[in-house]
Chains A and B, each alone.
Chain A
Amino acid sequence: MPRLFASLALLLAFALPSSAADWKRIRIGVEGAYPPFSSLAANGTLQGFDIDIARALCAELNAECQLVQSPFDGMIPALQAKKFDAIVASMSITDERRKAVDFTVRYYNTPNRFVAKKGAGLAVTPAGLKGKKIGVQRATIHDRYLTELYKGSQIVRYSKQDEAFLDLASGRIEATLVDQVAASHGFLKTGAGKDFEFVGPPLEDPKYFGYGSGIAVRKSDTDLRANLDGAIAAIRANGTYKRIQDKYFDFDIYGKAPSP
């Protein structure tokens, strides 16, 4: 018995207890490997659209923001394990995910597209990509879409989208399915992506791609969700959202609500 208390005391010494009730301190899970939404600058600080939005929402709620970096495919388990209280990582709101967590209203909505080498002439249908290697980030909406509809293709899963782009550039995979903006800013407009292009139409079927990107919270934290909903509306109304948007994009990223 004394040993149990001793080890618990040890754990408590490492722990940072926070009081859930008044949300003065919100721990936010972010990825840090998904430019332009979230990435690491050369000096090690987090930067990107997701990061700025997260900070703006905390400012709006008069709360202290603690950004916790986590790999994307472990974010929902980590949220449920209370490693953080909210996920701001370009996570799409899908019915599938809603079984495990709750989402706020969306804070942006962009379509998804395939990226492949210029002039490769790939038909991005299940038949056209049969037997070919398609790279995708594990546990994303793109992963689910390909897993269910492209059963004839070889799906290669990566921890980070960056790794998929690296392999696409070197020719290990022939295509990748990814968010359109992440692809254009994170790859196509960079030196490594100059021989690549979008192939096929933008994909937006809500059944797989959801209803835009939202902030995920635990199902029990209804008050936090309500607070964040209010904060999102507030920064859209008072111009903060537009200011952040213009810093990264020259188009409207909030988009239209997808028709269900």
Chain B
Amino acid sequence: MLHGYAGNLLEGTGLTLAVAGASLAIACVLGLAAAGAKLSKSRLARGVGTAYTTVIRGVPDLVLMLLVFYGGQMAVNEIAARLGYDGFLDIDPFVAGVATIGFIFGAYLAETFRGAILAIPPGQREAGIAYGMGRLQVLLRITLPQMVRLALPGFTNNWLVLVKSTALVSVIGLNDMMQRAGQAAGATREPFTFYLAAGAIYLAITTVSLVALKSLEKRYSLGVRRAA
């Protein structure tokens, strides 16, 4: 039915998942940093955080990806040359895709994390300080665990959008599942079949993610009384 391209597509799916996973890791780091910046007392930090989230929301993923892929390489070469490095520092499509998607979703996650942190009743932090906990202890033992629970719905949403945006990495030539589907479509002249297959694979990934994250949400919400 898939003219022998099934194995090829599944290999591509592995790459797609790798891109999504790696991007999520980078996005979480950037998101926490940016959320911290936007909540900070320093006007400079708030300004940088706001600029970051504003620019990312204001420019299409595709444009950012093309910019990072073509322009980013030139920037890296410039830096390398100025530091006296003579060889090539390669930004391959995987790195470009992961860097871009991670960078983009860092901004969206920043908003999710920021909202979650703001939703923690301030009394919790105060209680921690009253017990003599240091700032780091308060962060690790009180703020972050509660933030996880409150951030999960938004995080789930962000993750799903991230997975779907990995389809764009095919445009910069990364041989992921979308690219392979396109090539199979061109070679067999059956685009409907292969894009339908690609859609089905994405739907499977999103379904599994939804189920997993919903059960995670239940686990983190043990003991929480709901309003309704």
Query: Do the two chains touch directly in the complex (Cβ atoms below 8 Å apart)?
Result: yes
Give A residues with C-beta under 8 Å from B.
8, 11-12, 14-20, 27, 32-33, 35, 39-40, 42-44, 68-71, 74, 77-78, 80-83, 159-160, 162-163, 165-166, 169, 190-192
Interface string of B40-77 (1 = CB under 8 A from A): 00000000000000000000000000000110011011
- Structural contact, B189 and A169, CB atoms closer than 8 A: yes
Q: How many residues of B contact A (CB 8 A)?
A: 36
Given contacts A11-B89, A71-B171, contact A190 B70 (CB under 8 A): no
Interfacial chain B residues near A35, Cβ < 8 Å:
187
Q: Does B4 contact A (CB under 8 A)?
A: yes
Give B residues with C-beta under 8 Å from A.
3-5, 7-8, 11-12, 69-70, 73-74, 76-77, 79, 83, 85-92, 95, 171-173, 175, 180, 183-187, 189, 191
Given contacts A40-B187, A42-B5, contact A17 B73 (CB under 8 A): no
Subset of 29 A-B contacts with CB under 8 Å: A11-B76, A14-B90, A14-B92, A15-B91, A16-B90, A17-B87, A17-B88, A17-B90, A18-B87, A32-B183, A33-B183, A35-B187, A39-B183, A39-B187, A40-B183, A40-B187, A42-B4, A42-B184, A44-B12, A44-B175, A71-B173, A74-B173, A82-B73, A83-B73, A83-B92, A160-B186, A162-B186, A166-B189, A190-B189
- Structural contact, A33 and B189, CB atoms closer than 8 A: no
B36 CB to nearest A CB, Å = 15
- Structural contact, B189 and A83, CB atoms closer than 8 A: no
Q: In the complex, given contacts A14-B90, A44-B8, A166-B186, what are 6 additional A-B residue pairs having Cβ atoms less than 8 angstroms apart?
A: A11-B76, A15-B88, A17-B89, A27-B88, A77-B70, A163-B186
- Structural contact, A18 and B7, CB atoms closer than 8 A: no
Q: Which residue of B lies closest to A39 (CB)?
A: B187
Bound state CA distance, A192 and B192, in angstroms? 15
- Structural contact, A43 and B8, CB atoms closer than 8 A: yes
- Structural contact, A42 and B73, CB atoms closer than 8 A: no
Interfacial chain B residues near A39, Cβ < 8 Å:
183, 187
Interfacial chain A residues near B83, Cβ < 8 Å:
8
Interfacial chain A residues near B191, Cβ < 8 Å:
166
B178 CB to nearest A CB, Å = 13
Interfacial chain B residues near A74, Cβ < 8 Å:
69-70, 172-173
- Structural contact, B79 and A8, CB atoms closer than 8 A: yes
List the 4 shortest-distance A-B pairs measured between CB atoms, nearest first. A162-B186, A81-B73, A15-B89, A17-B87
Interfacial chain A residues near B186, Cβ < 8 Å:
33, 160, 162-163, 165-166
A27 CB to nearest B CB, Å = 8
Which of A42, A44, A191 has a CB less than 8 Å from the CB of B189?
A191
Interfacial chain B residues near A80, Cβ < 8 Å:
74
Q: Which residue of A lies closest to B70 (CB)?
A: A77
B101 CB to nearest A CB, Å = 15
Which of B5, B90, B175, B184 has a CB less than 8 Å from the CB of A15?
B90
A57 CB to nearest B CB, Å = 20
Given contacts A33-B186, A81-B70, A166-B186, contact A42 B8 (CB under 8 A): yes
Interfacial chain A residues near B189, Cβ < 8 Å:
166, 169, 190-192
- Structural contact, A20 and B88, CB atoms closer than 8 A: yes
Interfacial chain A residues near B92, Cβ < 8 Å:
14, 16, 68, 83
- Structural contact, A20 and B79, CB atoms closer than 8 A: no
Bound state CA distance, A209 and B89, in angstroms? 34
Bound state CA distance, A20 and B81, in angstroms? 14
Which of B74, B95, B172, B175 has a CB less than 8 Å from the CB of A14?
B95
Q: Which residue of B lies closest to A31 (CB)?
A: B173
Bound state CA distance, A33 and B175, in angstroms? 12
Bound state CA distance, A190 and B90, in angstroms? 38
Bound state CA distance, A20 and B85, in angstroms? 11
- Structural contact, A81 and B89, CB atoms closer than 8 A: no
A195 CB to nearest B CB, Å = 13
B193 CB to nearest A CB, Å = 13
Given contacts A39-B187, A42-B3, contact A19 B87 (CB under 8 A): yes
- Structural contact, A69 and B173, CB atoms closer than 8 A: yes
Bound state CA distance, A20 and B86, in angstroms? 8
Interfacial chain B residues near A69, Cβ < 8 Å:
173, 175
Bound state CA distance, A32 and B173, in angstroms? 10
Which of B87, B91, B173, B180 has a CB less than 8 Å from the CB of A70?
B173
